[in-house]
Chain A
């Protein structure tokens, strides 16, 4: 059986920030669902690992959280992007695109292209 790839170290944080940027305030389950949907089940995510990460991002000041009511009127903790978080998202997105572009170019290069 082929194993699903682990979420790359550090990219999960970027995904969380982007999710909150697109969807606005979300609880943990909502974020997990969204990541799962977009990655198309390719990424295996132990959804629970999201919670320590959320706490870490909160400590770093990228997001804030508060108790609120979920869709079915239960107590849930909602996470919201802060100004710092939005800036962090922008820089990390740019960095990521740069890295991805470099990697992509490496893959395109064939032996005969090299001088």
Chain B
């Protein structure tokens, strides 16, 4: 208590600038006068009386200082003095200050920029109450290599009744045709269980969310709309509740409007910006009761019981799986190894981007480290120049700690100013910089330059300033007084130790930049390999446009129910589109066949039953399926290897046929001797909602194409004829010379001339699709390359500065050598050797570190070994070349040294 009271009084005196100097002077004068009188009374002479009184009082100046220190807060006062002095030093050498501030601004600015991305994607909790309770549940069949196969309705009920979760919900992102207005629009919509909003824990801003206990089968006719859609399509109508709208020809009524701030959970921007949610019981489309073995394949999210950790929930889920397997042995054959897996929702949303972001953060951290090392190097160089100043201060009685504090204040000021500058540049350029962030980055909307980011920038600058300012301050203040003062002009005595430290710093800098360059080189190679990969299909001059046929809940109202009904529309629409100027060829497929598009729009993987090999009750392998029109293979330039493709005579009434790719042939018809047997003519059964029961004959095998993933050439695929199996979510393809700006409108006119209720949207050239599928890779590659370039530049500057300084220090020695007849070329070689030694040691250390780092980033590489010799060799060569170039300029200066002037100047 007493201590606190004293502290606050001192603090208030300090801030108010209240001084007690006058008071202690008066008190001491009075004290002296009284003591002198006393002494006089004791019989001393007046002069002696005054002298004795002064002696008894003690050193007046020291007492006054002590008194003043007690009055205020000396630590804070000294800090202010130091700060003022640091500002003066900053002004006195503006060039030096500018370089240091700019270097730190670069380092801190870049780090802060990446941090703001990581803050939004990895660190920010999801914008829902108690986000840690929300999880994603997946069902896997590791026994047959199937992942995330989805749940059947009885399984969903098992989850709900397990007591592990508060709520469980299916969700299915798709898109809906909103009709009934003047222009059919197409919006991102989701079909969800009634408990969906209860899982997220969000309430509607207007009206209500779905009743989580609503158990009606199928759609219950209720929709909730987003704030954006409410304002855009309904003019923010306050009486919207209960009004109806038509989705895919079904009538729905609006029961709620979500708050403006609400963003849906989801991995893509489209999912996050979902504008309409329809609730559905997910069963009862047809009369059959929900079967345990009929999996829906929808995403499943759930909210855990409060206080239950995901690990504990996972254990309870495993117990549930075990008891279900016992109860229904027919549905869960042991060889399939059916399991549940639970992941926190936040993790699933970030997914594979995490690794790239951590790599970027590591890379930018190295750049920051190199900037700091560079600045520490500059500080050290300046410290030797200030040896005399320090010596004089020490001679005048400054304590070592005091000097360190002052030097530290100076470097902290520079670092913090650099950090603030970096942050300010980032803040001003944030709009510009965000353009470079790929659209596919999850939670892109959440990226902001917030107070947290500012705090990060300041903390990083202060920490860096303390760590990298301390060593130079320590070395500068540690000097031999007499030697320094006597030796002035030939470098201070501390310079040997500090020059050793400077060498270590430059070596570290070179090593770090080598690591970054290796990382960048490997990423560049992977990217290039992916970019140059044999696609197996030809995306040039092909445009894809999406459309969706109405998908009403009551099949009897569907005018495109059968393939024959749909083919009339499709053939007419394609015929009309072909008449458009520039269009040479057209094709249509379901959206699963859209190259490199996300195939989540429909469940793609279907169980493949081979005649004579698999039986219905066993767990058959799963295969990617898509539905295409006969022209699809030609428009995309995919080559037929064996058999035939679809033809015009293949219709709904003719036998069902399919085409597979080579990977499927290899995997599912390996033959007895492993050489492969001809799959053409084999019969398979692939169940799907629109397929008629019975066998499908394989008629052709096409070459593998990277339509699924650029990184993977051999994913088994099976194609069906769209004129035999109808599909709702379609992509139209146009090959030819078309204008991307107007084609969408032209195609829409043609399609709506056939059926005015059908929307046409999302036109994109396949080249664009291809490049956006590479966007995250390209982003991280470009960023790491940028950081590596910066690192190389900084390292070059560092070695240049060090060698220049060495030449300066050794100028007397060089002059003497020259005067004694040394060859100028020898001098050049001597200096270059010093630079090369540094580079060699730096490269050696860096190569070891680079091996470790490249091993860690193996998962991000494609087609290139993490220990790729040419990358390592090339990078080392570049670094050595830069080191030589950076040493060459000071070496030339050393060579041209005039011995007479140099020796005279000493």
Contact of A60 among B2, B23, B33 (CB under 8 A): B2
> Are A48 and B70 in touch, CB under 8 angstroms?
no
> Are A55 and B34 in touch, CB under 8 angstroms?
no
CA A111 – CA B31 in complex, angstroms?
51
Is A9 positioned at the interface, with any CB of B under 8 Å from its CB?
no
Query: What A residues does B318 contact at CB under 8 A?
Result: none
B106 to chain A, nearest CB (A): 47
> Are A29 and B67 in touch, CB under 8 angstroms?
no
CA A62 – CA B28 in complex, angstroms?
22
Query: What A residues does B392 contact at CB under 8 A?
Result: none
Q: Which residue of A lies closest to B9 (CB)?
A: A59
**Interface SS of A by simple majority:** helix
B445 to chain A, nearest CB (A): 55
Interface residues of A in 26-70 (CB under 8 A from B): 27-29, 32, 46-49, 51-52, 55-56, 59-62, 70
With A51-B67, A75-B30 known as contacts, the answer to whether A29 contacts B60 (CB < 8 A) is no
Contact of B63 among A48, A62, A70, A77 (CB under 8 A): A48
Of A27, A59, A74, chain B has the most CB atoms within 10 Å of the CB of A59
Query: What B residues does A49 contact at CB under 8 A?
Result: 58, 63, 66
Is B24 positioned at the interface, with any CB of A under 8 Å from its CB?
yes
Is B572 positioned at the interface, with any CB of A under 8 Å from its CB?
no
> Are B60 and A48 in touch, CB under 8 angstroms?
yes
Is B35 positioned at the interface, with any CB of A under 8 Å from its CB?
yes
| A interface footprint on B23-39 (CB within 8 Å = 1, 0 otherwise) | 11011101101110100
> Chain A, interface size: which category?
20 to 34
Is A76 positioned at the interface, with any CB of B under 8 Å from its CB?
yes
Query: What B residues does A99 contact at CB under 8 A?
Result: none
| A interface footprint on B45-69 (CB within 8 Å = 1, 0 otherwise) | 0000000000011111001001101
Query: What B residues does A47 contact at CB under 8 A?
Result: 31, 35, 56-58
CA A51 – CA B60 in complex, angstroms?
11
Is B20 positioned at the interface, with any CB of A under 8 Å from its CB?
yes
Query: What A residues does B23 contact at CB under 8 A?
Result: 77
CA A48 – CA B35 in complex, angstroms?
12
Q: Which residue of A lies closest to B66 (CB)?
A: A52
Interface residues of A in 63-93 (CB under 8 A from B): 70, 72, 74-77, 88
Q: Which residue of B lies closest to A60 (CB)?
A: B2
Query: What B residues does A55 contact at CB under 8 A?
Result: 20, 24, 67, 70-71
A23 to chain B, nearest CB (A): 15
> Are B30 and A59 in touch, CB under 8 angstroms?
no
Query: What B residues does A56 contact at CB under 8 A?
Result: 6, 70
CA A60 – CA B24 in complex, angstroms?
18
A95 to chain B, nearest CB (A): 15
CA A72 – CA B37 in complex, angstroms?
10
> Are A74 and B33 in touch, CB under 8 angstroms?
yes
> Are B5 and A59 in touch, CB under 8 angstroms?
yes
Is B269 positioned at the interface, with any CB of A under 8 Å from its CB?
no
A22 to chain B, nearest CB (A): 20
> Are A76 and B58 in touch, CB under 8 angstroms?
no
With A47-B57, A49-B58, A61-B2 known as contacts, the answer to whether A74 contacts B30 (CB < 8 A) is yes
> Are B5 and A28 in touch, CB under 8 angstroms?
no
Q: Which residue of B lies closest to A77 (CB)?
A: B27
A45 to chain B, nearest CB (A): 8
B10 to chain A, nearest CB (A): 6
Contact of B30 among A48, A62, A70 (CB under 8 A): A70
> Are A51 and B28 in touch, CB under 8 angstroms?
yes
> Are B67 and A52 in touch, CB under 8 angstroms?
yes
Q: Which residue of A lies closest to B8 (CB)?
A: A59
Query: What A residues does B69 contact at CB under 8 A?
Result: 52
> Are A48 and B59 in touch, CB under 8 angstroms?
yes
With A46-B58, A52-B67, A75-B26 known as contacts, the answer to whether A32 contacts B31 (CB < 8 A) is yes
With A28-B27, A47-B57, A59-B9 known as contacts, the answer to whether A52 contacts B70 (CB < 8 A) is yes
| A interface footprint on B1-18 (CB within 8 Å = 1, 0 otherwise) | 011011001100000000
CA A77 – CA B26 in complex, angstroms?
9
Contact of B6 among A60, A70, A74 (CB under 8 A): A60
Query: What B residues does A74 contact at CB under 8 A?
Result: 30, 33
> Are A48 and B33 in touch, CB under 8 angstroms?
no
**4 A-B pairs with least C-beta separation:** A46-B58, A48-B63, A48-B58, A59-B6
Q: Which residues of A contact B (CB under 8 A)?
A: 27-29, 32, 46-49, 51-52, 55-56, 59-62, 70, 72, 74-77, 88
A-B contact list, 13 entries, CB within 8 Å: A27-B27, A28-B27, A29-B31, A32-B31, A48-B31, A52-B63, A55-B20, A59-B9, A60-B3, A61-B2, A72-B37, A74-B33, A75-B26
Q: Which residues of B contact A (CB under 8 A)?
A: 2-3, 5-6, 9-10, 20, 23-24, 26-28, 30-31, 33-35, 37, 56-60, 63, 66-67, 69-71
